[in-house]
Amino acid sequence: MASPACAAGGDARSSDALSIITDLTTDVGQRLGGTEREAAARDWAVARLKELGFANVRSEPFPITGWVRGEEKAAITAPVPQKLAVTALGYSGATPPQGVNGELVYFPTLDALKLAPDGSLRGKIAFVDHAMKAAQDGGGYGPFGEARRQGPTIAAAKGASALLIRSIGTDHTRSPHTGVTRIPPQGEPLPSGAVSSPDADLIARLAAKDKPLTASVTLTPRFTGQVMSGNVIAELPGRDPKLAPILVACHLDSWDLGQGAIDDASGCGIITAAALEASKSGQLARTIRVLWAGTEEMGGFGGQAYAKAHGAEPHAVVMESDTGADRVFRFLFRMAPQDKPLAERIGAELAKMGIYTGDGAPEGGEDVGYIAEKQKLAVIDLNQDMIRYFDWHHTPDDTLDKIDPAQLQQNVDAWAAVLKILGSYTGTINPAG
Ligand SMILES: [Zn+2]
């Protein structure tokens, strides 16, 4: 049987990335932040990074609020009984063991929920819909995702006994998408779940009938108190210790429903293989520091812990890979005006691979965003094609078979080209402001 590495043409660069993704998803599997599986992933990561020849490999623990999934069940009870495919949102509160029942009140958007009078949802279950569409830059996730992030706190303020949302995704399967919601500043977290897209369509059709619509929801996740997570850090030391390092990041944790292949084993595979590739023909002038962050999914805690622990150390520029394994289509940068020629050199190299320089601001990401903000660092984004990404993101279908080896290799090539230019550059890379 052909191994995935053979499918990629046996290329050393791609096989480093693919073997990281394959082994992490196979030998560790799901690795929810703060759980024993995430700790196992850290042990695995430390061993693998040492084996690959990285120096200063270490695990840096930090505490988080733990949470684990329980029973999850939901159904329409009237006008016709129908089961719903549901999953709890991360940091959702719990219903009683027997669940809650009540009128299901349909809101086409989060804005419509915001307009509901206070107390008007007492004893009722709120449902928030949205109309996110697939896009190459994944641009809908920020705004439409607010139904998940803010919805529970708003529905709780209106008196709801539970909240259901349409999964924040773009597929048409019955795999619901989890994802974190905010722990409310006061009061108990509301039991909150996402239903699959076809189930949300059903709810929308039933709600349009003007007949009594009721549902039952049972979600019994648990908060597990303060538990330990951690970052894994490793370096390819540069020749000149006076040059500030390049920080490249992914996140090691995943949601608990699938294998965390596209989110974000692929990011760890890409940045790590690219760092090795960039320094393959000789030690670079500048150190590349690799950060495999812990507990990104539950709220960017690894990135926050990194900024706290390393906020006084110099950094030259930050980059993050956390949007799957499909091809890079665009290069975005935020660099000081005097460093524009360096950015243009990178852009010229990437153009050879069909990657264009965009004129928007890079987002950086949760794992590098806190240190970038603290130190006003230069940020580079290699934006990946996200047309397929939100079909599988945070679902049971985030599995190894979704990785396309050819597109994965294109990522490694693009990242390696950028790291080679930055790593060989002996001038100062200035804060971007
Ligand atoms: Zn991610």
Query: Is 15 part of any domain?
Result: yes
Distance between first and last Cα of the chain = 52
State in Å: Cα 296 to ligand 1 middle: 7
Residues for the chain: how many in total?
433
Q: What confidence category does residue 433 fall into, taking pLDDT thresholds of 50, 70 and 90?
A: confident
Query: Is 429 part of any domain?
Result: no
Average pLDDT over residues 71-95: 98
State in Å: Cα 220 to ligand 1 middle: 25
Average pLDDT over residues 63-88: 98
State in Å: Cα 96 to ligand 1 middle: 31
**CATH number assigned to the domain comprising residue 330:** 3.40.630.10
Please indicate, yes or no, whether residues 195 and 241 belong to a single structural domain of this protein.
Answer: no
Q: What confidence category does residue 210 fall into, taking pLDDT thresholds of 50, 70 and 90?
A: confident
- The domain total for the chain is 2
State in Å: Cα 124 to ligand 1 middle: 33
Query: Contact, 12 vs 19, CB < 8 A?
Result: no
Preceding peptide of 79 cis, ω within 30°:
yes
β-strand pairing of 125-128 with 100-107: parallel
pLDDT of 13 > 90? The answer is no
Please indicate, yes or no, whether residues 230 and 212 belong to a single structural domain of this protein.
Answer: no
Dihedrals phi, psi of 152, to nearest 5 degrees: -60, -40
Average pLDDT over residues 83-107: 98
Average pLDDT over residues 57-75: 98
State in Å: Cα 186 to ligand 1 middle: 27
Helix (H, G, I), strand (E, B) or coil at 90: strand
* 67 CB-side CA count, 13 A: 24
Rounded Cα distance between 288 and 76, Å, is 53
State in Å: Cα 346 to ligand 1 middle: 25
State in Å: Cα 206 to ligand 1 middle: 34
pLDDT of 103 > 50? The answer is yes
State in Å: Cα 1 to ligand 1 middle: 31
State in Å: Cα 255 to ligand 1 middle: 9
pLDDT of 2 > 80? The answer is no
State in Å: Cα 216 to ligand 1 middle: 31
Residue 15 pLDDT: 87
Q: In which region does residue 361 sit, left (phi positive, over 0), alpha (psi from -120 to 50) or beta (all else)?
A: beta
Query: Is 430 part of any domain?
Result: no
- 35: Cα separation from own chain's centroid: 17
State in Å: Cα 141 to ligand 1 middle: 12
Residue 263 pLDDT: 98
CA angle 107, 111, 114 (to 5 degrees): 85
Q: What confidence category does residue 7 fall into, taking pLDDT thresholds of 50, 70 and 90?
A: very low
pLDDT of 9 > 90? The answer is no
Average pLDDT over residues 235-262: 98
Rounded Cα distance between 25 and 33, Å, is 15
- Give the number of other Cβ atoms within 10 Å of residue 292's Cβ: 32
State in Å: Cα 267 to ligand 1 middle: 8
pLDDT of 3 > 80? The answer is no
State in Å: Cα 190 to ligand 1 middle: 24
Average pLDDT over residues 13-37: 93
Please indicate, yes or no, whether residues 232 and 133 belong to a single structural domain of this protein.
Answer: no
Torsion of CA 301, 370, 237, 228, to 10 degrees: -10
Q: What confidence category does residue 6 fall into, taking pLDDT thresholds of 50, 70 and 90?
A: very low
Name residue 230's beta-bridge partners: 61
pLDDT tens digits, one per residue of 285-307: 999 999 999 999 999 999 999 99
| Packing angle of the helix pair 36-51, 12-23 (nearest 10 deg) | 160
Please indicate, yes or no, whether residues 195 and 75 belong to a single structural domain of this protein.
Answer: yes
Tokens of 285: 């002038």
State in Å: Cα 339 to ligand 1 middle: 29
pLDDT of 40 > 80? The answer is yes
State in Å: Cα 256 to ligand 1 middle: 13
Rounded Cα distance between 147 and 145, Å, is 5
State in Å: Cα 353 to ligand 1 middle: 25
State in Å: Cα 385 to ligand 1 middle: 15
> How far, CA to CA in Å, does 100 sit from each of 192, 220, 429?
12, 11, 57
- Mean pLDDT, all residues of the chain: 96
CA-nearest of 241, 231, 232 to 287 is 241
State in Å: Cα 292 to ligand 1 middle: 11
Which of 202, 220, 238 is the C-terminal boundary of a domain? Answer: 220
Q: What confidence category does residue 39 fall into, taking pLDDT thresholds of 50, 70 and 90?
A: very high
pLDDT tens digits, one per residue of 323-346: 999 999 999 999 999 999 999 999
CA-nearest of 274, 275, 243, 250 to 264 is 250
State in Å: Cα 29 to ligand 1 middle: 15
* 215 CB-side CA count, 13 A: 31
Please indicate, yes or no, whether residues 333 and 389 belong to a single structural domain of this protein.
Answer: yes
pLDDT tens digits, one per residue of 155-197: 999 999 999 999 999 999 999 999 999 998 888 999 999 999 9
State in Å: Cα 178 to ligand 1 middle: 12
State in Å: Cα 282 to ligand 1 middle: 32
Query: Is 111 part of any domain?
Result: yes
Q: Which domain holds residue 276?
A: 4-67+225-424
Residue 14 pLDDT: 52
Percent of the chain with pLDDT over 90: 95
Name residue 232's beta-bridge partners: 59, 292
pLDDT of 31 > 60? The answer is yes
Which of 201, 220, 239 is the C-terminal boundary of a domain? Answer: 220
State in Å: Cα 323 to ligand 1 middle: 7
Rounded Cα distance between 86 and 165, Å, is 9
Tokens 């995430």 sit on residue: 38
State in Å: Cα 103 to ligand 1 middle: 35
Which of 188, 220, 252 is the C-terminal boundary of a domain? Answer: 220
Query: Is 432 part of any domain?
Result: no
